[in-house]
Protein backbone atom coordinates (compact mmCIF):
# COMPACT_ATOMS: atom_id res chain seq x y z
CA UNK A 1 0.00 0.00 0.00
CA UNK A 2 1.42 3.36 -1.05
CA UNK A 3 1.92 6.12 1.53
CA UNK A 4 1.31 8.67 -1.23
CA UNK A 5 -2.31 9.75 -1.58
CA UNK A 6 -3.89 9.86 -5.02
CA UNK A 7 -6.83 12.23 -5.45
CA UNK A 8 -9.01 11.05 -8.37
CA UNK A 9 -10.41 14.59 -8.73
CA UNK A 10 -7.11 16.00 -10.06
CA UNK A 11 -7.37 17.63 -13.50
CA UNK A 12 -5.41 14.93 -15.35
CA UNK A 13 -7.67 12.21 -13.90
CA UNK A 14 -10.62 14.25 -15.23
CA UNK A 15 -8.94 14.47 -18.63
CA UNK A 16 -8.49 10.69 -18.64
CA UNK A 17 -12.21 10.24 -17.85
CA UNK A 18 -13.13 12.85 -20.50
CA UNK A 19 -14.66 15.03 -17.81
CA UNK A 20 -12.27 17.87 -18.76
CA UNK A 21 -11.13 18.97 -22.23
CA UNK A 22 -7.69 18.22 -23.59
CA UNK A 23 -5.87 18.15 -26.92
CA UNK A 24 -4.76 14.53 -27.18
CA UNK A 25 -1.84 13.72 -29.46
CA UNK A 26 -1.10 10.07 -28.67
CA UNK A 27 -2.40 7.23 -26.57
CA UNK A 28 -1.92 3.52 -26.04
CA UNK A 29 -3.30 1.09 -23.47
CA UNK A 30 -1.12 2.43 -20.64
CA UNK A 31 -0.33 6.06 -21.45
CA UNK A 32 -1.74 9.31 -22.83
CA UNK A 33 0.03 12.34 -24.29
CA UNK A 34 -1.68 15.74 -24.65
CA UNK A 35 -0.74 19.37 -25.15
CA UNK A 36 0.25 21.44 -22.11
CA UNK A 37 -2.17 24.39 -21.94
CA UNK A 38 0.56 26.73 -20.64
CA UNK A 39 3.40 25.71 -22.95
CA UNK A 40 6.93 26.82 -22.20
CA UNK A 41 7.98 25.95 -25.78
CA UNK A 42 6.12 25.33 -29.05
CA UNK A 43 5.08 21.67 -29.02
CA UNK A 44 5.26 21.32 -25.21
CA UNK A 45 3.30 18.18 -24.38
CA UNK A 46 2.82 15.93 -21.38
CA UNK A 47 2.88 12.15 -20.97
CA UNK A 48 0.88 10.48 -18.20
CA UNK A 49 0.03 6.92 -17.17
CA UNK A 50 -3.63 6.00 -17.60
CA UNK A 51 -3.65 4.27 -14.22
CA UNK A 52 -3.65 6.22 -10.93
CA UNK A 53 -0.21 7.38 -9.78
CA UNK A 54 0.71 10.53 -7.86
CA UNK A 55 4.28 10.93 -9.09
CA UNK A 56 7.63 9.17 -9.54
CA UNK A 57 7.70 8.22 -5.86
CA UNK A 58 4.74 5.83 -6.02
CA UNK A 59 5.04 4.76 -9.66
CA UNK A 60 5.19 1.03 -10.31
CA UNK A 61 7.87 -0.48 -12.52
CA UNK A 62 5.22 -1.10 -15.17
CA UNK A 63 4.01 2.52 -15.06
CA UNK A 64 7.56 3.85 -15.33
CA UNK A 65 8.42 1.63 -18.27
CA UNK A 66 5.20 2.49 -20.12
CA UNK A 67 5.56 6.23 -19.48
CA UNK A 68 9.22 6.36 -20.49
CA UNK A 69 8.61 4.43 -23.69
CA UNK A 70 5.96 7.00 -24.60
CA UNK A 71 8.28 9.84 -23.54
CA UNK A 72 10.87 8.54 -26.01
CA UNK A 73 8.25 8.22 -28.76
CA UNK A 74 6.91 11.74 -28.12
CA UNK A 75 10.41 13.24 -27.85
CA UNK A 76 11.26 11.91 -31.29
CA UNK A 77 7.93 13.10 -32.68
CA UNK A 78 8.14 16.67 -31.34
CA UNK A 79 11.72 17.02 -32.57
CA UNK A 80 10.58 15.97 -36.02
CA UNK A 81 7.41 18.09 -35.93
CA UNK A 82 9.20 21.27 -34.87
CA UNK A 83 12.58 20.63 -36.52
CA UNK A 84 14.14 20.87 -33.05
CA UNK A 85 17.79 20.20 -32.23
CA UNK A 86 17.03 18.71 -28.82
CA UNK A 87 14.39 18.08 -26.22
CA UNK A 88 14.13 18.91 -22.52
CA UNK A 89 12.34 16.28 -20.41
CA UNK A 90 11.11 17.52 -17.02
CA UNK A 91 9.33 15.80 -14.15
CA UNK A 92 8.43 17.26 -10.72
CA UNK A 93 7.61 15.48 -7.46
CA UNK A 94 5.52 16.93 -4.61
CA UNK A 95 4.78 20.64 -4.13
CA UNK A 96 8.25 21.44 -2.84
CA UNK A 97 9.68 19.73 -5.92
CA UNK A 98 7.59 21.94 -8.21
CA UNK A 99 4.66 19.56 -8.80
CA UNK A 100 1.30 21.31 -9.25
CA UNK A 101 -0.89 18.52 -10.66
CA UNK A 102 -0.78 15.35 -8.58
CA UNK A 103 -1.06 12.74 -11.31
CA UNK A 104 2.36 11.52 -12.49
CA UNK A 105 3.39 13.41 -15.63
CA UNK A 106 6.47 14.09 -17.73
CA UNK A 107 6.99 17.31 -19.71
CA UNK A 108 8.43 17.15 -23.22
CA UNK A 109 9.81 20.43 -24.55
CA UNK A 110 11.33 20.70 -28.04
CA UNK A 111 14.42 22.94 -27.97
CA UNK A 112 16.09 25.18 -30.52
CA UNK A 113 19.52 26.74 -30.42
CA UNK A 114 19.38 30.15 -28.69
CA UNK A 115 15.67 29.90 -27.76
CA UNK A 116 14.99 30.00 -24.01
CA UNK A 117 11.97 28.35 -22.40
CA UNK A 118 9.08 30.78 -21.96
CA UNK A 119 7.94 31.84 -18.48
CA UNK A 120 5.49 29.39 -16.84
CA UNK A 121 1.80 30.13 -16.34
CA UNK A 122 0.91 31.75 -19.67
CA UNK A 123 -2.19 30.19 -21.26
CA UNK A 124 -1.87 29.38 -24.96
CA UNK A 125 -4.41 30.08 -27.67
CA UNK A 126 -6.42 26.89 -28.28
CA UNK A 127 -6.22 27.19 -32.09
CA UNK A 128 -2.43 27.49 -31.90
CA UNK A 129 -2.29 24.36 -29.72
CA UNK A 130 -4.60 22.49 -32.13
CA UNK A 131 -2.30 23.34 -35.05
CA UNK A 132 0.77 22.22 -33.09
CA UNK A 133 -1.00 18.99 -32.10
CA UNK A 134 -1.69 18.29 -35.79
CA UNK A 135 2.02 18.62 -36.55
CA UNK A 136 2.90 16.18 -33.76
CA UNK A 137 0.23 13.66 -34.84
CA UNK A 138 1.57 13.84 -38.40
CA UNK A 139 5.13 13.29 -37.16
CA UNK A 140 3.93 10.17 -35.32
CA UNK A 141 2.63 8.56 -38.49
P1 LIG B 1 3.74 20.54 -12.82
O2 LIG B 1 2.83 19.76 -11.90
O3 LIG B 1 4.56 21.57 -12.11
O4 LIG B 1 4.56 19.64 -13.69
O5 LIG B 1 2.82 21.42 -13.74
C6 LIG B 1 1.63 20.97 -14.28
C7 LIG B 1 1.59 21.27 -15.76
O8 LIG B 1 0.31 20.90 -16.22
C9 LIG B 1 1.80 22.74 -16.13
O10 LIG B 1 2.78 22.82 -17.17
C11 LIG B 1 0.43 23.18 -16.62
O12 LIG B 1 0.52 24.15 -17.65
C13 LIG B 1 -0.17 21.89 -17.10
N14 LIG B 1 -1.62 21.83 -17.05
C15 LIG B 1 -2.41 22.16 -16.00
N16 LIG B 1 -3.71 21.95 -16.30
C17 LIG B 1 -3.73 21.47 -17.56
C18 LIG B 1 -4.77 21.07 -18.47
N19 LIG B 1 -6.06 21.13 -18.11
N20 LIG B 1 -4.43 20.63 -19.69
C21 LIG B 1 -3.13 20.59 -20.07
N22 LIG B 1 -2.10 20.95 -19.27
C23 LIG B 1 -2.40 21.39 -18.05
Q: Residues 44, 103, 105, 107: which is the catalytic one? A: 105
pLDDT at residue 104 greater than cutoff 70? yes
| Average pLDDT for 1-22 | 90
Tell if the pTM clears 0.75, that is, is over it. yes
44 counts as catalytic: no
The span from the CA of 137 to the CA of 100, in Å, is 27
pLDDT tens-digit map of 124-133: 999 999 999 9
Say yes or no: CB of residue 56 within 6 Å of ligand 1: no
pLDDT at residue 58 greater than cutoff 70? yes
Amino acid sequence: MSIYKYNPENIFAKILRDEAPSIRVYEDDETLSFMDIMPRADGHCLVIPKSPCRNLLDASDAQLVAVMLTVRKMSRAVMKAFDAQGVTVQQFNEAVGGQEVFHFHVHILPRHEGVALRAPGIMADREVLNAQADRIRFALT
